[in-house]
């Protein structure tokens, strides 16, 4: 009996105490004789868009990106609304990090001013390449109210910021 094989086949679980707890939870569901109770237990166990390690989820996201595009693609996995939102936010965070790297901006050292040029440039990139919400951007970049994000990005675009060669180069680096 190879622990890595058993855990790996159950969603890429790791050979850790947490991995084994998840495996035991799974066995408890499978062993439940009352069909109604088993159905309820399975619902709790499988809540979320994917069950497994971070690497397993990353692999699913990669496969999913090939099969479909856009935020609706997470619906293919049969996830509930909260899990779909979690998956979208993870994707937005991944894209934000890519945008920051392409722009040479440190997310950990953003200026405190709500309309700082670094924040506005990041928001403009995100609004161009994703379906990111203003609320998420306002919170993540500390830009104030969600409506402010729209105004900052609109002003950036009106000033020709989105037409500059450097901005377009950043977009080409992070779009799928």
Nearest to 41 by CA among 56, 54, 24, 57: 24
pLDDT digits (tens, 9 = 90+) for 119-137: 999 999 888 888 889 999 9
- % of the chain residues with pLDDT over 90: 26
Q: Which pLDDT score is estimated for 152?
A: 93
Compute the mean pLDDT over every residue in the chain, rounded to the nearest whole number.
79
pLDDT tens profile 135-157: 999 999 999 999 999 999 999 98
* Average pLDDT of the residues in 30-44: 69
Q: Say which DSSP state 106 is in.
A: -
Tokens of 7: 């855990």
Residue pair 159/120 in contact (Cβ under 8 Å)? The answer is no
Q: What's the pLDDT band for 42 if we cut at 50, 70, 90?
A: low
Q: Tens digit of pLDDT for each residue in 58-95?
A: 777 776 665 544 445 555 455 567 777 777 888 889 88
pTM strictly above 0.75:
no
What mean pLDDT is predicted for residues 41-61? 67
CA proximity to 50, closest of 12, 19, 79: 79
47 against 11, higher pLDDT: 11
For residues 121 and 167, what is the distance between their CA atoms, to the nearest angstrom?
Answer: 8
């Amino acid at each position: 009996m190879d622990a890595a094989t058993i855990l790996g086949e159950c969603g890429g679980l790791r050979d850790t105490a947490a991995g084994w707890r998840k495996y035991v939870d799974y066995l408890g569901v499978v062993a439940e004789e009352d069909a109604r109770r088993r159905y309820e237990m399975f619902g709790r166990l499988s809540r979320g868009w994917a069950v497994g390690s971070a690497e397993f989820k990353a692999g699913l996201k990669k496969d999913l990106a090939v099969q479909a595009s856009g935020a609706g693609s997470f619906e293919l996995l049969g996830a509930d609304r909260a899990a779909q939102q979690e998956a979208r936010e993870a994707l937005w965070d991944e894209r934000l990090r890519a945008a920051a790297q392409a722009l040479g901006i440190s997310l950990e050292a953003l200026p405190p001013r709500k309309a700082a040029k670094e924040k506005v440039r990041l928001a403009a990139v995100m609004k161009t390449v994703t379906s990111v919400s203003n609320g998420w951007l306002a919170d993540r970049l500390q830009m104030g109210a969600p409506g402010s994000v729209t105004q900052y990005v609109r002003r950036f675009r009106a000033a020709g910021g989105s037409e500059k060669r450097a901005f377009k180069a950043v977009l080409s680096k992070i779009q799928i």
